Structure 1
Amino acid sequence: MDLTTRPLDLSFRPLDPAADATLLHRWLSMPSARFWMMTEHTPAQVRTYLDQIACSAHEQGWIGMRGGEPLVYVETYDPALLLPAGVLEPEPGDLGMHLLVAPPEGEPEHGLTTAVMGAVVRWCLHGRGAARIVVEPDERNTAVLAKNAAAGFRVLRTVELGSGAEAKRAALSVCTRADHAASLLGEGADPLAHLGAEVGERVHRQLLAKAIAEFSHERMLTPEPDGSAEGAYRITARDGAVRWTFTARELPLEHWLVDPVSIRRHEDGEETRLDVLDLVLDLQEQLGLPEELASTYLEELSSTFAARCATLTEALGGGRPTSAELLSAGLEEIEAAMTEGHPGFVATNGRIGYGLADYRTYAPEQGRRTRLQWVALRRELGHLALGEGLDEQSHLDAALSPEEREVFAARLRSRGLDPVGYHYLPLHPWQADHRLAITFAADVARGDLVPLGEGGAELQPQQSLRTFLDRTRPGAPYVKTALAIQNMGFLRGLSPAYMRDTPAINDWLARLVAEDAEFARCGVTVLRERAAIGYMGDAYHRTASSNPHRKMLAALWRESPLPLLEDGERAFTMAALLHRDHEGRSYAGALILASGLTPADWVTGYLRAYLRPLAHLLLAHDTVVMPHGENIILRVRDQQVVGAFLKDIGEEMAVLGERELPRDVERIRALVGGEEKALSIFTDVFDGVLRHLSGILDADGLLGAEEFWGLVGQVLDEYEADHPDLARGIGGDVDLRAGSFAHSCLNRLQLRNTLQMVDLGDQASSLLYAGRMENPVARRGAVIA
């Protein structure tokens, strides 16, 4: 009989030591049971052992029956209580398991042991309700290790268990329901089930609507009225052989609201399937996508498509919250609920370098916790930069638990190294696996970098991919790590050279904000990057020119907003205001309706906490930050915005005038004229954020776009009335009410060079413009250039 092609039907009854001792003594005496270490036991010794199992509050014995005949002995136990401390990080629903199959009698049954393993694992997961099964077989028991692997067990590591004659090196392994379902012995779960045709078509339509809207906004495409119906448009390609049609509305700032359901593609007169990759290929020339980079851009777009399919499939199965359900959620839950990515970029979730397992483990929208890997670096080959009032001991107290510091120091000493000679650097787990062990192998071999293993805290990746929120110690600093994957036009590294000045830059801006009462009135403060570390002892820092490998071993620690919230306040990244759930309902709309305010009053309060302080920062201090949705954390009380935190300062702020700066902050100076200064508001705030929010509220019927922009003008009027001497900035050359402004384009940058959109050392000269755009808050009579 071949049991490998069908599941085995087993029933289980509790162990009865008196009735089962003789049978189990025979089974345990067989050579095949040698890893149970009872082959020499007498019947009395076996009976004593079984009595102990039956009387234990934390262990249970079971006899598995096939057709009424005993076939397998199973022990289950609580691993949190019965495994030595420190061997396993317990999780809710853990169930330990030991397995002994009856020795064969008569004609062998091919695949019996495999079938038994599958049946026992299914029973533990579904019959016993385990969320995760824990096993610790002897690493020499290769037959069982193979069966475990076939059932979906993953080896965590090798551990030493027991002592004396009972000591063993065990392969500590776990198996979750998902692990087993996807295994050889599981239910045949398809790991790519999220890429189904129905979900795929829906996601293609969503991405096509965004692509048509944003490419048209950036004037790479010029939709023509179709004439077939009101709001109907067409785009032609390939000398007229291909025609894309859709319905849309155009709002201020050339913002297109494209109806996904209306999109059609015709080629040679025949309607074809919809695929966002086809749109790019059809319009490659109009989009200015170089042939040598086309495949890379298509891969980033494919990754975006795959990620959207995964979250939509999960949502349709009830696994993701609706916008209404997020009204009572905290920062960490809202962060994991976001699926859109950057509102302007089309290929927004590239993540080239991640595989499917990496995506499911580290993607922010998965909301999973992970542990960072840590490495010690020789002090003289790196640097640790600290902010004002922070010494190394207080930094370590914030960054690591006492247990982590003690263990890391002990691991260094065990290698004959003095911990005093090293700094501790956190690494993204992907970076440790893909870069530390290979790219920096020579540094590890020299002992300049000493791997210390994973930390004890569980952290959750945030929308920026490489920044983590500490879930074990609420209020502990965020950790931002280097991550050498390609995403949205950049390799996501961190420069040790930049890190050196980062705390000082943050202190300077925080001091400026704290000393100006206007920011306090707006409820705005800075989340400082208090400490930064970088390693520069590698060969890549000795090459003649700069290279991405110099940005692979660095990190920073940023203040958490959680301890800074007042009673009754919640916090979430501003990107959430642009989120729609799988039912099409916007989070901004849910907030407005739940607040009890009129949409106009709610938006005005938001603009006073977001736009007004940014305008003041520019006009009163010639200073700008990068205020997109991920870099602003909103404070909300009673579903109303009452303030904001500015973050991600060190790499993305600039002083645009001649004001005096400390020497270690001087690198942020970028002298430009008044019109270019104003672009920090026009491009980053008006076009980058408010354009999208106004479109959402208009589409939802809550607040028309014209009225929205009227409120923007009103908030600027209020500021000018309160600060008439600053209406044009401290240099008198900034006009936020000008008739038009230069139209800076993001997708054009990515399409031109998807590997590096801009030169980070000279960002201004790298930008691409598409003429000028009418200012939706231009003062009456302003000239539209």
Structure 2
Amino acid sequence: MQTTDRAWREAGHALLVRALAELSYEDMLSPEPLGDGAYRVSLAAEYTFRAVRGGFESWRIDPGSVRRNGVPASDPMEFLVDARSALGLDGPTTAEALRELVATWSADALLRRSLPTASGLADASYVDLEQAQGGHPAMVLNKGRLGFTASDAEAYAPEAGRTLRLTWIAVHPSLGVSAGVSLADELDPDTTAAFASRAPDGYVWLPVHPFHLDVAVRPLFAPYLADGRIVELGEAPDRYRVLASVRTLVNVDHPAKFHVKVPLLIRNTLVWRGLPAGPTAGAPAVSAWLHALQASDPFLASHVDLLGEVASVAVRHPLFDRIPDAPYRYHELLAAVWREPVETYLRPGERARSLASLLVTGSDGVALVAELVARSGLSAVSWVRTLLRVVLAAPLHALHVHDLAFCPHGENTVVVFGPDDVPVRTMLKDFAEDVNLLPGRVYPGLPPEADRLLPRWSEGELAHSIVTAVFAGVFRPLAVLVGPLGISEPEFWGLVREAVEEYFEAVPEAAARRKEYGLTADRVERICLNREQLTGGGFHDRAEKEEFEIVSGTVPNPLVVHG
């Protein structure tokens, strides 16, 4: 699929502006003030722009002001080459970064080609709105998807909007283990009968993404396909669409069926997108515990729905399994997780939209949030205040009452809207790898298999689940989008502080943990995802994902009024 020249130019220009802003925010670039809001960055070429500073000391760059040697600039790849010395990038890293950058640029251009107006975005289904997302707002190289060819991107990337079918395989029980609820209803009776005629008794069944089947399963598991420990059963008829995360699939023929999360042998935004065997196998146990915890807590029960990971299959590779220090992607090659769909918890007239999708601006230049405010009939302040309360309720409560951190970033948080497009509650997802606990604390009812799997972090690290994923990751760009609605950035952060304070007033027992978690401390750590990707471990094979170091220094907390 070819993009138009206009879409290509606009996508490149936007990517250049984001690169200047985010690399300056992370102190990888040092803009020199020229007066009256103008700045200069001296690289292999001289870049100038106009900007104001925002929350977390971020940069709000006027897109039309960016110049390279005095001429309007719009080429992010040229910028990266200009900046490589200042960024400290060697040749191999620069080349890898350019590879991810041009993939991101291509994806952004494709997205712009089919982007609806704000009204169209507001009318879009949950899955269609996922297609319009722009990727991680803080990362420059946010759609690298290294491993995809151009044809793969056109077939399997969310912005392409296409459907795919899954091939099912059967695995000998010495290699694969299943957990959770029965999946008898996931395949129609005729398909089940046809697959059963090919599968040996006692084998474990699971679906495989067509890309992954060709790139990972057939070549890397070839010995076990040859000796019969793995059997290809065939392609199932149901069609799927991908969510913004690329590896999570939604059944478009039967929306009430489970969402399926499968591994992909691609690297995107710092990590390889596999599924580790341990967390995959334990996912149903973690979800069952969280559902029981929610049922015992009236506050959680009324403010959030948990999209449980109700079934899973984890398959080990007999030889890679004996190499514990191999790059982690070789331990995440074959698995599947089935998750409850959003339809499970929607009531009549309600609509689901991921939190990340609220950052999208339509092809008419109108932000989706502006369209939703207009449709709601509320004032912008009232609507935004409601959104903030709804989004923060469950993460604040889980953290301060249960010492438990979800990872409620834009894709993992789904906002539920009433018929009037006013936010009413949230849904949360992704529990097997993204729920974290305190070390040394005993959690009632936590199954041993879940206890062994869930990471244990300190209070400060648990607090990052909100500071990083919500405040810096979503609210920082949202503060810009609500500006045209008459809400200044200081006023926006005041509303965030107000939502936090109202929670503590409503749940006084949570205040005992307030200081330890420090969400309203004067300063918070600066999260530097681009720094880690470009100069840390982002382009290197590692045995563990957790080795990434994404913190560099501190910044003033925008929730606090600084004199």
* SS of equivalent residue, structure 1 residue 299: helix
**CA-CA distance at 1:574 after TM superposition:** 1.2
CA distance in 1: counterparts of 2:373 and 2:387, whole angstroms = 11
Structure 1 pair 206–541 and aligned structure 2 pair: CA distance change class (3 A): same
Residue 708 of structure 1 aligns to which amino acid in structure 2? F
Are 2:342 and 1:533 aligned? Answer: no
Deviations 1:59-117 (A, max 9, x none): xxxxxxxxxxxxxxxxxxxxxxxxxxxxxxxxxxxxxxxxxxxxxxxxxxxxxxxxxxx
Alignment correspondent of 2:19: 211
Residue 220 of structure 1 aligns to which amino acid in structure 2? M
Deviations 1:118-138 (A, max 9, x none): xxxxxxxxxxxxxxxxxxxxx
Structure 1 pair 737–728 and aligned structure 2 pair: CA distance change class (3 A): farther
* SS of equivalent residue, structure 1 residue 245: strand
Q: Which has the higher contact order (CA 8 A, sep 6+)?
A: 2
CA RMSD of aligned residues (A): 2.1
* SS of equivalent residue, structure 1 residue 397: coil
Are 2:33 and 1:233 aligned? Answer: no
**CA-CA distance at 1:289 after TM superposition:** 3.3
Contact in 2 for aligned 1:495/1:550 (Cα 8 Å) = yes
Deviations 1:299-346 (A, max 9, x none): 01110111112222x23xxxx4211112222212212222x1111111
Contact in 1 for aligned 2:307/2:429 (Cα 8 Å) = yes
Residue 60 of structure 2 aligns to which amino acid in structure 1? L
Alignment correspondent of 1:708: 492
* SS of equivalent residue, structure 1 residue 442: helix
Structure 1 pair 779–487 and aligned structure 2 pair: CA distance change class (3 A): same
CA distance in 1: counterparts of 2:442 and 2:324, whole angstroms = 34
**CA-CA distance at 1:614 after TM superposition:** 0.7
Residue 162 of structure 2 aligns to which amino acid in structure 1? R
Alignment correspondent of 2:559: 777
Contact in 1 for aligned 2:279/2:453 (Cα 8 Å) = no
Q: Which residue of 332, 335, 339 maps to 2:130?
A: 335
Are 2:538 and 1:754 aligned? Answer: yes
Alignment correspondent of 1:556: 337
**CA-CA distance at 1:516 after TM superposition:** 1.0
Contact in 1 for aligned 2:359/2:367 (Cα 8 Å) = yes
Structure 1 pair 529–305 and aligned structure 2 pair: CA distance change class (3 A): same
**TM norm structure 1:** 0.68
Q: How does 1:170-569 map to 2 (within 5 A)?
A: 193-194=2-3, 196=5, 198-227=6-35, 230-238=36-44, 242-266=45-69, 271=71, 274-312=74-112, 314-315=113-114, 320-338=115-133, 340-386=134-180, 390=181, 395-412=182-199, 418=200, 420-522=201-303, 524-543=304-323, 545-547=325-327, 548-569=329-350
Alignment correspondent of 1:52: none
Q: Which residue of 686, 697, 700 maps to 2:482?
A: 697
Contact in 1 for aligned 2:405/2:463 (Cα 8 Å) = no
Structure 1 pair 544–479 and aligned structure 2 pair: CA distance change class (3 A): closer
Deviations 1:487-535 (A, max 9, x none): 122221111222111111121122212221112332x021010111122
CA distance in 1: counterparts of 2:99 and 2:341, whole angstroms = 34
Are 2:481 and 1:687 aligned? Answer: no
CA distance in 1: counterparts of 2:495 and 2:224, whole angstroms = 57
**CA-CA distance at 1:356 after TM superposition:** 2.1
Structure 1 pair 544–397 and aligned structure 2 pair: CA distance change class (3 A): closer
Structure 1 pair 665–756 and aligned structure 2 pair: CA distance change class (3 A): farther
Residue 450 of structure 2 aligns to which amino acid in structure 1? V
Alignment correspondent of 1:642: 424
Structure 1 pair 744–311 and aligned structure 2 pair: CA distance change class (3 A): closer
Structure 1 pair 617–757 and aligned structure 2 pair: CA distance change class (3 A): farther
Which stretches in structure 2 are left out of the alignment for 5+ residues?
Answer: none
**CA-CA distance at 1:284 after TM superposition:** 1.9
Residue 682 of structure 1 aligns to which amino acid in structure 2? V
* SS of equivalent residue, structure 2 residue 137: coil
Residue identity over aligned pairs, in percent, reads 33
Number of positions where the alignment pairs a residue of Structure 1 with one of Structure 2: 557
Contact in 2 for aligned 1:385/1:499 (Cα 8 Å) = no
CA distance in 2: counterparts of 1:634 and 1:464, whole angstroms = 17
* SS of equivalent residue, structure 2 residue 220: coil
Contact in 2 for aligned 1:573/1:630 (Cα 8 Å) = yes
Residue 381 of structure 1 aligns to which amino acid in structure 2? L
Contact in 2 for aligned 1:738/1:779 (Cα 8 Å) = no
Contact in 2 for aligned 1:213/1:256 (Cα 8 Å) = yes
Are 2:455 and 1:655 aligned? Answer: no
Contact in 2 for aligned 1:467/1:481 (Cα 8 Å) = yes
Alignment correspondent of 2:396: 615
Deviations 1:697-716 (A, max 9, x none): 12x24311111111111111
Structure 1 pair 758–381 and aligned structure 2 pair: CA distance change class (3 A): closer
Deviations 1:14-39 (A, max 9, x none): xxxxxxxxxxxxxxxxxxxxxxxxxx
Residue 323 of structure 2 aligns to which amino acid in structure 1? T
Alignment correspondent of 1:742: 525
Structure 1 pair 705–474 and aligned structure 2 pair: CA distance change class (3 A): same
**CA-CA distance at 1:368 after TM superposition:** 1.1
Bigger-Rg structure (1/2): 1
Which stretches in structure 1 are left out of the alignment for 5+ residues?
Answer: 1-190, 413-417
Contact in 2 for aligned 1:737/1:777 (Cα 8 Å) = yes
CA distance in 1: counterparts of 2:341 and 2:324, whole angstroms = 39
